[in-house]
Structure 1
Amino acid sequence: MEFTGKTVLITGAASGIGRAAAVAFLREGATVGINHINQSHLFAELQATHADCADRLIELEADVRNGSEVKTMVDTLIAHTGRLDVLVNNAGVSQIKPFLETTEEDWDFIINTDLKSVFLCSKAAIPYLKINHGAIVNIASELALSGRAQYGPYTAAKGGIISLTRSLAREFAPEIRVNAVAPGPTMTPMLEKEALVPGHKEDLGAIPMGRYAEAKEIAESILFLASTRASIFCGDIISPNGGAVMR
């Protein structure tokens, strides 16, 4: 119960990896701010599923691409709990599209959601994280390391997250530890949606473990990096990907 009495903010936490991370932090005693946009029904479902600790769930509906909404979100959480100990920058979207068909609007949507949100949320949270020597865990992707055709904006955004992680780690250590998780293919609603695209499939043959990760497995990596067990980790990128990327 390392996180008892501590507050965690997770963006894009209504489903997928964000939701699994929220459950993991709840298990460890944290109060968890659940950011989402237009997904109040999923927040209500999370509350119902974890009724025994629903009082430690705080709904934070905000568009993390918008600086004023991000500030309001963080201010609301601080008003509720009086502190912030961990920020998990998880919100993200993806798109499968040939590069020459990718529009400027496509590029802006993905870069703003996946990368700009990390900038905005980190900037709003860092003054509070410094008080408690907190941690930031950013969610990148193994595709930032390996690349993939027809994922141009997504891989660019996730590569940017890795670079920003290292920059922030150097600037704010030792007061704040900043690290990232770069998952491999993980069974989430986003992956299930991509699987419906004609001709698209994740190649299990390229994964030595022979399967996709489960969201709860990625959540354990997030929990680890946020905990004192990772006290020497700074600017590190851990990649739970079943062996798909070996460096």
Structure 2
Amino acid sequence: MNWKINIGATANVALDTPNWLEKSKGIKMKHQDQVVLVTGAGQGIGQSIVSYFAAAGANVAAVDINADTLNASVNELNANVAGNIVAITANIAKSDSVRDAIAAVVEKFGRLDAIINVAGVGSIDAFVDTPDEHWDKVIAVNLTGTFLCCREAAKVMQAQGSGCIINVSSTAALTGEGPSHYCASKAGVMGLTRSMARELAPVGIRVNTIVPGPTNTPMMADIPEEWTQQMIAAIPLARMGEGEDIAKVASFLACDDSGFITGQNIAVNGGMAFI
């Protein structure tokens, strides 16, 4: 069985939380005029984060590889959420595409206050049967892509003297319960965060990682119901995560309330695994 996950690669553009637009109306404007870039923004966790930050007053650059999915999502959000969201199509596994995306954000808004790296891919492969191309793609997007986005964002933030970088890993990196390429890539993201946090702190840049557990997103829709129930049974809080759960933690990490937090990997997994 080969189950491929590609954030932003489906035609599902409906908001992942049906009552999200109504909920978003009450969000405090804690990110007023902040400039935030979100990758993997066309659906799932990335879409939830875009919606949350826009509702909280941020100027949001929504980045995804799938232009149709991204544009449909951004158009719907702009029509229903108070905020300013722009769509930028980019392939985060390509350095020139990442440079162009960051440059477009700075040209549009004049600065970059936070970047939230959500985009990721994966496939289910037995270790001994993993094709080279599957390994290469997962590492290229999940780890190298995160590195490229962080590097280009850090250049802008260093010149500003401030900034916030938030990476997204996975509980699979803690438990090892997942394909080898996916677990390795997401563990690498946590190591990258620690290294960046130490090096970039003196120039005013904070770097942290959110480590989600199983989350109710379109990419989970292809998983057999039996697997879903097994995952829920392993979660002490007895439910799947929602995109909003991740968005709220990202919001905290991107605001002044977390000004003394850097280099941390924060699990948002209902107690499924501990760091």
TM-score greater than 0.5 by the shorter chain: yes
TM-score under structure 1 normalisation?
Answer: 0.93
Q: Which moved more, 1:128-137 or 1:116-125?
A: 128-137
Letter in 2 for 1:95: S
Select 1:34's aligned residue among 45, 62, 82.
62
Conserved in 2, the CA contact under 8 Å of 1:48 and 1:54? no
Conserved in 1, the CA contact under 8 Å of 2:35 and 2:59? yes
Letter in 1 for 2:148: L
Letter in 1 for 2:216: M
Q: Which residue is 1:24 aligned to?
A: 52
Q: Which moved more, 1:126-135 or 1:109-118?
A: 126-135
Q: CA deviation at 1:204?
A: 1.8
Question: Is 1:187 matched up with 2:196?
Answer: no
C-alpha distance in 2, partners of 1:76/1:157? 28
Q: Which residue is 2:193 aligned to?
A: 165
Aligned to 2:123, the other structure's residue is in SS state coil
Q: CA deviation at 1:79?
A: 0.9
Structure 2: gaps (5+ residues): 1-28
Q: Deviations over 1:36-93 (max 9, x none)?
A: 1124344323322432557711111010000001101111111111110001111101
Select 2:93's aligned residue among 61, 65, 76.
65
C-alpha distance in 1, partners of 2:239/2:80? 33
The alignment yields a C-alpha RMSD, in angstroms, of: 1.7
Question: Is 1:135 matched up with 2:164?
Answer: yes
C-alpha distance in 2, partners of 1:49/1:13? 11
TM-score under structure 2 normalisation?
Answer: 0.84
Which aligned pairs between 1:48-87 and structure 2 lie closer than 5 A? 48-51=76-79, 56-87=84-115
C-alpha distance in 2, partners of 1:239/1:74? 28
Q: Which residue is 1:11 aligned to?
A: 39
Aligned to 2:53, the other structure's residue is in SS state helix
C-alpha distance in 2, partners of 1:43/1:80? 17
Conserved in 2, the CA contact under 8 Å of 1:94 and 1:190? no
C-alpha distance in 1, partners of 2:73/2:261? 34
C-alpha distance in 1, partners of 2:82/2:55? 12
Q: Which residue is 1:92 aligned to?
A: 120
Q: CA deviation at 1:190?
A: 1.5
Aligned to 1:78, the other structure's residue is in SS state helix
C-alpha distance in 1, partners of 2:86/2:78? 13
Letter in 2 for 1:138: N
Q: How many residues align?
A: 244
C-alpha distance in 2, partners of 1:82/1:210? 44
Q: Which residue is 1:245 aligned to?
A: 273
Assess, with a 3 A threshold, how the Cα gap between structure 1 residues 41 and 246 changes in structure 2: closer, same or farther. Answer: closer
Conserved in 2, the CA contact under 8 Å of 1:47 and 1:54? no
Q: CA deviation at 1:227?
A: 1.1
Conserved in 1, the CA contact under 8 Å of 2:135 and 2:181? yes
Letter in 1 for 2:49: A
Assess, with a 3 A threshold, how the Cα gap between structure 1 residues 42 and 74 changes in structure 2: closer, same or farther. Answer: closer
Q: Which moved more, 1:39-48 or 1:228-237?
A: 39-48
Q: CA deviation at 1:155?
A: 0.4
